[in-house]
Amino acid sequence: MINIILEYVLYLAILIALAIPLGIYISKVMDGKKVFCSKILKPCEKGIYRLLHVQETEDMTSKQYIVAVFIFSIIGFVVLVFIQMFQGVLPVNPNHIKGLTLDLAINTAVSFITNTNWQAYSGESQMSYFTQAIGLSVWNFLSAGIGIAVLYALVRGFMRVKAKGIGNFWVDITRVLLYFLIPLALIESVFLVSQGVVQTSKASETVQLLEPVAVDKTGNQIQNATINNDGTVTVENKIIKGATVITKEEVPLGYAASQISIKQLGTNGGGYYGANSAHPFENPTWASNLVEMLSILLIPASLCFAFGRTIKDKGQGRALFAAMFIVLVIALASFTASELYGTTALTQNQQVYTGGNLQSLGNMEGKESRFGLAASDAWSVFTTAASSGSVNAQLDSMTPLGGMIAMLLIQLGEVIFGGVGSGLYGMLAFVILTVFMAGLMVGRTPEFLGKKIEPFEMKWAVLICLSTPIAALIGSGIAVMVPSISSTLTNGGAHGFSEILFAYSSAAGNNGSAFGGLNGNTVFYNISLAIVMAFSRYLAIFGVLAIAGNIAGKKKVAVSAGTLSTKNGLFIFLLIFVILLIGALSFFPALALGPLAEFFG
C-alpha cells in the first residue's frame, strides 16, 4: 500500500513540476509575446496568416468567432466522412482496407471533431494508414486547438473593458498548433519510437507463432487444448470437432507513434489499435506508460497556471488548479481502494483473486500485468478526469464502485482538468455559477475578475454546466427503451445498464472511453452517440463564446470590502461543492440503477 501511495505522489509531483513552466510558456504564446523559439516559428506563423488572408491584429466579435469555429468544424466533418468512406481507393492503403459504412463514418468524424474519439471500430483492421494519419491524426491536433482557442476567447472577455472583439480564431488556433501542440507531439513521438512504438509505412506482416493455438468455430481459443501431430485438437483425450489450428499471426503496423503522442497531449484518446494503450505496439514499456499517462493531464493542468498569468492574477489560476487537484486526489484514492480490496461478491471463493502472491496486489482482472494495479488505476482516473478515452486497462472489469468513480468523473462535466481548453472553460462556467450563488447568499451583485455576473451570463453558464447531464441522461433513457439494445450488451442487469450509461456519459462528456462489454457499432449507436457528442460540445462552445462577447463589453468594477474572494480556501470549497451538487445529484438516480445496484446486489 505504501508503495502505491509513493507511486501516486511521484506521478502528481512530476505533473505539477512540468505543468507550471509549460503554463508560463503557453501564456506568453497566447499573449503574442516573444518566446525562445520565436525566431524560427514567427516567420512560419506570418506565412500562415498570409496564406489564410488573415490580419494578425484583426479582432472578431463573439458571433464572428462562433461562425469561424462552426464553419471550420463542418468542413472538417465533410472531409473526414469522405476520407473514411473512400479510403479503399485513396492512397497509402497497403493493407487494402475497404471504406466504412455511412453511419460509422459519421460517428467517427463527429467523434474526432468534437475531441471525443469514441471508437466503434478497430483501427488496425478498419482504418487505412491514410485515414489514420491524414484524417484522424490531423483532427487530433485541430480539435484540441479549437478547445484552447475558445478558452482564450473567454479569458479575453474577462480581461477587456467595453470591447467588441474577443480575439481572432485563426490567429489563436495557429499559435496553439505551431508553438506547442506540434512541437510537444513531435518530441513525444520521437521518445515513443525509442521505446518501440510502431512508426512505419510498411504493410502488416505475417509471422510464425512460437506455439500453435487452437480455436473453435467462433474463433475463441480452446483452453487446455492438445494439438496432435495429425492436426487434430483434443481436450482430455476428446477430439474437438471444427477446431482450427493457427500457426501464423498478422502483425499490424503503421504510423502509430505520431498519432499516439497527440491523442494523449490533446486529450483525444483515440487508439491507433483497438486495444488502445493496452496494446504493446502503442505502449510497450513502463517509460512509455509514464510519459503517455502524464501527457493526458499535462496541458489541462498547465492551462490553469497560464490562465493566472494571462489575467495577471496567479492566485486565481492556483485556486482553479487546487479545486481540480483536490477532486482528482479524492477520486484516485477512492478508485484505488475499491480496486485494491474488491467487493465480497468478487472475492468470495476467490472468484477474483486480490492477494499479492504471484501478482500485483488487488483486482487484476482486465489489467495489464506489466503495469500492475497502481499504474492502471492512475491511468483510469487521469483519463476520465480529462476528456480522454485513452485506456491501458479494461474499465468494464473494474469493481462496481471503481467503474462508478470513472463514470462520475466524466459526468461532472469533465472539469476536473478535463479536455485541453474545454476543461477550463467548463470550470469557469461553474465558477460563474458559484459566485452567483454566493452573491445571492450575501445579498449583492456577484462579480468575477472585476466583471458583474448578470442574468445573461448565468443562463449560459447553467446551460454549459447542464449540457453533459442533459445529453447523457436523455441519450441513455432513449437507448434503454430500444428493444434491440439488449443484443448489444455482453452483460444483463445492473452492469448492462452501466454499459449503456457509461457510453452516453462518455459521449456527452466528450471522453470516448467505454465499458468494453458494449458493442457500439450499430446504426442506432453510431447516430445517437454522434448527436450526443455534437450537442454537448457545441452547446458549450456557443455558450462560452456568447459569455465572452457579452462580458467583454462591460466595464471593470472596483474591488471593495464586500467583493467575494475567488482565490481562497472557502471559495475552493464552494466551487467543489457546486460541481458535486450539479454533477453527482443529476446522475444519482441513474447511478443507483447501475453501479450502486451492482455493488449492493
Residues 123-144 have pLDDT tens digits of 999 999 999 999 999 999 999 9
Q: How confident is the model at residue 347, as a pLDDT? A: 60
In angstroms, rounded to a whole number, what is the distance separating the alpha carbons of residues 162 and 550?
Answer: 9
Beta-carbon contacts of residue 519 (< 8 Å; ≥ 6 apart): 488, 489, 490
Phi and psi based region of residue 267 (left: phi greater than 0; alpha: psi -120 to 50; beta: remaining): left
Residues 556-565 have pLDDT tens digits of 888 777 778 8
Residues 494-509, buried b or exposed e (16+ Cβ, 10 A)?
A: bbbbbbbbbbbbbbbb
Segment-wise mean pLDDT, segments of 10 residues, the chain, 601 residues: 88 96 96 93 95 92 96 97 96 94 96 94 93 96 97 95 94 96 97 96 89 83 84 84 86 94 94 92 94 96 96 94 96 91 63 61 82 91 92 89 92 90 94 89 81 92 93 94 87 89 94 87 94 96 96 87 83 93 87 88 71
In angstroms, rounded to a whole number, what is the distance separating the alpha carbons of residues 84 and 12?
Answer: 39
Radius of gyration in angstroms for the set of CA atoms belonging to the chain, rounded to a whole number: 24
Q: How far is CA 445 from CA 11, 440, 501, in A?
A: 41, 8, 39
Q: How confident is the model at residue 344, as a pLDDT? A: 60
**Residue among 600, 576, 586, 581 at smallest CA distance from 401:** 600
* SS3 state of residue 566: coil
In angstroms, rounded to a whole number, what is the distance separating the alpha carbons of residues 8 and 435?
Answer: 33
* SS3 state of residue 207: strand
What number of other Cβ atoms are within 10 A of residue 386's Cβ? 31
* SS3 state of residue 451: strand
Residues 291-305 have pLDDT tens digits of 999 999 999 999 999
Residue spans of beta strands (DSSP E) within 403-485: 447-448, 451-452
Beta bridge partners of 235: 238
Mean per-residue pLDDT of the chain:
91
